[in-house]
Chains A and B, each alone.
Chain A
């Protein structure tokens, strides 16, 4: 039986790969952005455009993933990321199961591998997992055939968040990533959002500056061996934000003060809160981002959180479209 592709096989000698019906997509899983080429990121963003258009229709549904089973397996609580993935999967007509494993079940008794093997035996096509232990998805994919999307593993990676951040920046806000000045401010050391954004942004040619107290900045940065992208480090918030095109604030876990990483939240606010005055030092058309949920008047003043430069709500909307794109791209047949 001829497939649609063969029916429409009209390839001229001048046609490039991207003009043909199919493109090379080599990711079996989406665990981190550290192995994405700029072309692949661009491909995700283009696919997101199409998904975005679907979200603007009265019927926000297409049959592309009909009959596929998608499981969200969240070992950490999350309303927005989980519902974002849930909606994305449903918009593509997939069947979705949402499993919440409590943090206390992350102990040897209820083995991660056992849970995943059971899910696979039940016929799961894609697992979307959030886990408090960095690297858990890498251990997981060694034991399952289903596809996996990492919805956040410990401090390590949150690729769909970074992709939706990239999409938010480049669609409607900025012209080009090359040379774009992005300042990420907050608890970088414990942030998977920061790490994935650093990979995504530097891959696309942007310049990243990290800002926060040294106790919240990871070690070994700019090591010449090349394990991690090059970044600028600036502990003074005013200097870090000056001239930025994008200011990305990260959520501060209030427990950091108890671990001795900060003397007080009060001092963090006074040194690092993104206020209207600080934000005014960025470029006039700068945008303010935050992965959410925002601790108002801690990492952002409420004025700025709801101000004109904030694109936080767009990030949420774009999140569903980006996740639809990722699910579509992963769900390709016989791989």
Chain B
């Protein structure tokens, strides 16, 4: 786009500037060049105009937890296809987990992800490096070199770091680089053989359950280690009321801890598994009503800092089998906003607070090394998401851009849809119903 672009008449919500106004903004040379209220006129220029009447204009969403499957599992997703799916979901920055094959546990692998992303990705892709070599939980990975090469955090996601000494040393070692250690908290001795949340629904379905204690056990340990080492701890996909309570306490005690929750853990309960829909099989599993309510409350209070999708695509044939054999995971990029908006429509959380959890708050955790993210401040890269908060639409997984069509929301009606995603001033996604008018 050589011309400047004007996005007008929108409701501009930018939590990083405490902003919620009717107004317009302009983009020039890939940056936000001007922003003003509805009574202000933009500087004169030859604009392409996009009318955002009735729509929310906010910073591009940031996802700190997703799986792009490349290298090694390209049949499920690639950096290219995943980034396009994320763009359709309103994301302009995504952080991919290193549990690929081979794992992203060295500078060479970080470089691989970055160069593939810069050549093929539709949006910004920031890699997360392994905590331990091959995610095996035995030897520390080369965090220093990975940090230098561009890793934004460390995680062995998919697995916990079970050995407490290794985890403690990893946390200590990571301090030098100022990056978070993200833990997938699962006590595998308790979760072994389990397929869904332990409880009455598992009893009814005759499925081996994964008790809440599985997560809380390791969260508790990690908090103790974080306190001891002073490291930055980030809890991946928190899912239980007990975990919430532990995080709340830890924050009260001044531990340097942040936490994320996924759209599915904030909106779906374990009874989605009734009928043995493998698309509802996810780790950590969908939990009971009381856990979902505690998580939503935690999000509102700030105990949960951010929302992250844990987008985990699988091929259709992998999920087309007996429940016990299906892999865990939900393809979540394209339904994230729609499902989260139900919390806003049901008045569980305010729209601004929701947007903060998707923009300014993850930006804060990632830091400014890759630019000022999650903001519409004048002068920054134009990463913008425009969505219709009231548009009703029906989820059709066959239309997903992602190679993973594994969503339990297929056929569901959602209210709230991303219409436009702009990355570095260019359209990464645009709904065909919106027109860009050249004057």
Interface residue? A275 (CB, 8 A): no
Q: Are B275 and A138 in contact (CB under 8 A)?
A: yes
Which of the residues B202, B207, B289 comes within 8 Å of A220, measured between beta carbons? B202
| CB-defined contacts of A221 to chain B, threshold 8 Å | 200, 203
A106 to B323, CA, bound (A): 12
Interface residue? B204 (CB, 8 A): yes
| CB-defined contacts of A111 to chain B, threshold 8 Å | 317, 320-321
Interface residue? A195 (CB, 8 A): yes
Q: Are A156 and B205 in contact (CB under 8 A)?
A: yes
A157 to B204, CA, bound (A): 9
Please choose the segment from A119-127, A129-137, A307-315 that sits at the chain B interface, where 4 or more of its residues have CB less than 8 A away. Answer: A129-137
- In chain A, what residue has the closest Cβ to B318? A108
Q: How far is the CB of A7 from chain B (nearest CB, A)?
A: 42
Contact with B along A141-173 (1 / 0, CB 8 A): 000000000000111110000000000000000
Q: Are B203 and A220 in contact (CB under 8 A)?
A: yes
Q: Are B206 and A154 in contact (CB under 8 A)?
A: yes
Given contacts A111-B321, A131-B322, contact A157 B200 (CB under 8 A): no
Which of the residues A138, A195, A227 comes within 8 Å of B276, measured between beta carbons? A138
A225 to B322, CA, bound (A): 27
Interface residue? B389 (CB, 8 A): no
A113 to B200, CA, bound (A): 29
Which of the residues A112, A195, A219 comes within 8 Å of B198, measured between beta carbons? A219
| CB-defined contacts of B198 to chain A, threshold 8 Å | 219-220
Q: Are B206 and A155 in contact (CB under 8 A)?
A: yes
Given contacts A133-B323, A219-B198, A220-B200, contact A139 B206 (CB under 8 A): no
Q: How far is the CB of A15 from chain B (nearest CB, A)?
A: 38
Q: How far is the CB of B319 from chain A (nearest CB, A)?
A: 10
| Size of interface on A: residues with Cβ below 8 Å to B | 29
Q: Are A219 and B202 in contact (CB under 8 A)?
A: yes
Interface residue? B214 (CB, 8 A): no
Question: Chain B at the A interface: mostly helix, strand, loop or mixed?
Answer: loop
Chain B contact residues (Cβ within 8 angstroms of A): what range? 20 to 34
Given contacts A155-B206, A195-B206, contact A136 B322 (CB under 8 A): yes
Q: Are A113 and B203 in contact (CB under 8 A)?
A: no
Which of the residues B206, B271, B289, B320 comes within 8 Å of A156, measured between beta carbons? B206
A:93-113 near B, CB below 8 Å: 106-108, 111-113
Which of the residues A107, A154, A228 comes within 8 Å of B204, measured between beta carbons? A228
Which of the residues B203, B271, B278, B318 comes within 8 Å of A218, measured between beta carbons? B203
26 sample A-B contacts, Cβ–Cβ < 8 Å, listed by A number:
A107-B325, A108-B318, A108-B325, A111-B320, A113-B321, A131-B322, A133-B322, A133-B323, A133-B324, A133-B325, A134-B324, A135-B207, A136-B322, A139-B320, A139-B321, A139-B322, A139-B323, A154-B324, A155-B206, A195-B204, A219-B202, A219-B203, A219-B209, A225-B289, A227-B204, A227-B271
Task: Return the 9 tightest CB-CB contacts between A and B, nearest first.
Answer: A156-B206, A220-B200, A135-B276, A155-B206, A133-B322, A223-B200, A218-B203, A134-B206, A220-B199
A residues in contact (CB < 8 Å) with B: 34, 106-108, 111-113, 131, 133-136, 138-139, 153-157, 192, 195, 218-221, 223, 225, 227-228
